[in-house]
Structure 1
Amino acid sequence: MYSILIVDNERIDREGIKLLIQKFNLPLHVTEADSGKQALAYLQNGEFDILLSDIKMPIMDGLELAQRARELKPQLKIVIFSAYGEFDYAKQAIHIGVAQYILKPIRMEEFLKVMDQVLSLCKEEEEARVHNEMLLRGYKKGLQYEKEKVLLDILQGNELENNQINELKLHIVEKPALLVLFDFKDRFFDTRGAEFEQHLPAWFPAFAVLEYVNLNEYQSMVFIQLDDSLDSASTDQLGEMLKHAVTDTFKSNVCIVLSNPVNSKEQIHMEYMNMEKSIESKFFYDRSVVLFSSGTDKATQSNMSDAEFYIAQMDRHIELREYSEAGKMIEQFFDALQMDRKLPVTYLKFVCTSIMQKLFKSSDRHHQLIPDMAENIYASSTLLELKSILMQIVWQYGENALAVKQGGKLITDVLDVIHKEYSNDISLEYVADKVYLSPSYLSHLFKKETGQSFMKYVTSFRFNKALDLLQNTNMKISDISREVGYNSHSYFCSIFKNYYGLSPAQSRERGSS
């Protein structure tokens, strides 16, 4: 059960939202507030997972409330609802970290879809918290784990005693250092983390690697010791060298973010926050890229008025049903974005969603597809992917045809690929390419249709096959591991035991007894 705070000065609107929550048995404990001031008091004195607020309210509007709520509770999931087309509000909301928008009047389907997404985020965070607590209990006596925990606390800005840092002999707060963040699109560190760490000495031959810490399946951080010779030009060269080294070694695209020099835990925390903000710019690149915590990637600063010019031109062509001209303007808009990569991604997706809605309205058909197409837009992970989605709608409308494959049929195709190719090194990206979807959207659709993540399903299917082969054949365990897609026999045995609680040999013995 999660806690939600519903804020609206109109009682009838609050009651309507409560009714939807009750009707569909959403796992939410509801608290109501009729003003931003009252809501802020609740947030100061209680714990909430979700804030659902109207934008237009007297005295303290929804945006001010969202801003102050974000300062109070950084992990709070914020959802705002407002009238259609309020771009000024969208521009402000992107700086606050709003999770979702809902248009008024609220449609039941849209509300349920948004709440499902927000509840999924809450559940994932809760699972991550429980998982981390289990790791802490299991490895709290290990020195390396303690070092990683302290490093993560420093990055997150958590309070630490100086003796904790001294006892672990962490030199990152004693010597000038540089932070290097490696971010992959796939769950790279799930399977190749150890191999990645082994390459670090070769990648940093001129520097002492002070510390290395894995942040999650997608990201790891390296702390290197600075010397006086590392100027701005040298930092650029280091970034380019790392980009080519990682890409060539692992044949995977990577986003690398370099910090400014740091020599205190406070500076480390601030640089990490800036690096997380800068990493949003990776959306504008289809290949490996080097970014900087200062927010510069050698591109010029964005001019919002330029974007609004293109938007106005696209709107005009769509209203006149000049789809070909609208398509040309979209091409020019995305060309400009490719040159100037500083338009906030959240705002860009909001703009594209609005353009898509106007296309539907202009054509007077296929309105039932709006939620699905909007979902495609918000699930896009690169600028090229977003452009492809929008252009597909434009050109297909020019031909008065739009066909969207149904989710159930798509998942059937995906399962067919998994069941046939589980012995191979299949990934989310590989399967997404097979069914002509973006990896991020396929991931969302797969979990929505099956109730579990793509990788969790693949792992479960492989282990079920392995268990069957162990108990019903005489195949060697090493051969079975390869048969179900694991080239490393020791790794297979390790994760098999984690999955079943028994080693492969024990499972075979139990099956034969």
Structure 2
Amino acid sequence: MEDYNKIIESLGVKFKKAKNIKILQPLSISNFYDVDNTIIILNKGEIRFGENNEKVKEGQILFVPGGRMMPIHYGQGKGDSLTNDDFITRKGDYFKSFHYSELEDTVSENYSYITFEAKVFDSVNFFNSLDIPPFIIEKSDRITQIMRTMLKENVSELAGSERVVKINTEYLVVEVVRYIIKNRLFVEQLATNSTYFKDPRLIDIFSYIKENLSGDLSNKILANVANVSEDYVGQYFKMLTGINPQDYIEYQRMEKAVNLLRTTKKSIREIGKEVGYKDTAYFCRRFKMMFGIPAGKMRRRESLMNI
């Protein structure tokens, strides 16, 4: 348990977004994806997810680690089937956000969601790094209460509402981790993938990558950072994390690119250069390959209905 406490203490948690959503008509998204962690509570209706079309029941909570692509279906009935790319430009046809005060009164199928970031040493996406799949949290009064508080405070005009949301985001992460441990979920993944959080050389690599995304991040450079041989650094990194360093670096670069698209007006060329791609065309190809949509559409998604 001490190890889990150390990991939790190392987490940098950041609230991103909270919404209540009415499902206007059924919809399937074949490749749902978000870089942030998403936690959904189904208030009324039906949601199915994953390759096995697992059903979320009313009152249950679906947790989707950031960086995990999966199929998801909203609403009862078959409905339309879209790619994530198509959904971005048409989501107003299927979803409508509504105020927290209407939650008890709405008769439509609806759900509430919160997205947040949780990074170890502000470098590594915690839940994604554990390689755990999306999963259902059975009815949890504690997690439900935290989510309801966040959804209410997020639209409140009372003093300190932002602080309340921030504090409750941290509570939410702790409760999700506690739920996983208490129910002995993903035991093998936790045992295998949490060990590297304690390796100081690997943490040095993570920190260096984060601070130098626009620069040279070859295995030669990483070997110098970790004080191991160039021939060994790739094997060392993969042995502890399950992925090779260059794949990890590309994910970090693309994640930063998404954040810049969402929060700045920088051009695609400027963003590509800032995250380490001198060739804009190559950056755009890699971005679409990773997220399933062009970089320009990712930005447009944020400027459309913010659902």
Which is richer in strand? 2
TM over 0.5: no
Please state which structure has a larger fraction of its residues in helix: 1
Larger radius of gyration: 1
Q: What is the TM-score of this pair, normalised by structure 2?
A: 0.34
TM-score (norm 1): 0.21
Which structure's relative contact order is higher, taking Cα pairs within 8 Å and 6+ residues apart? 2
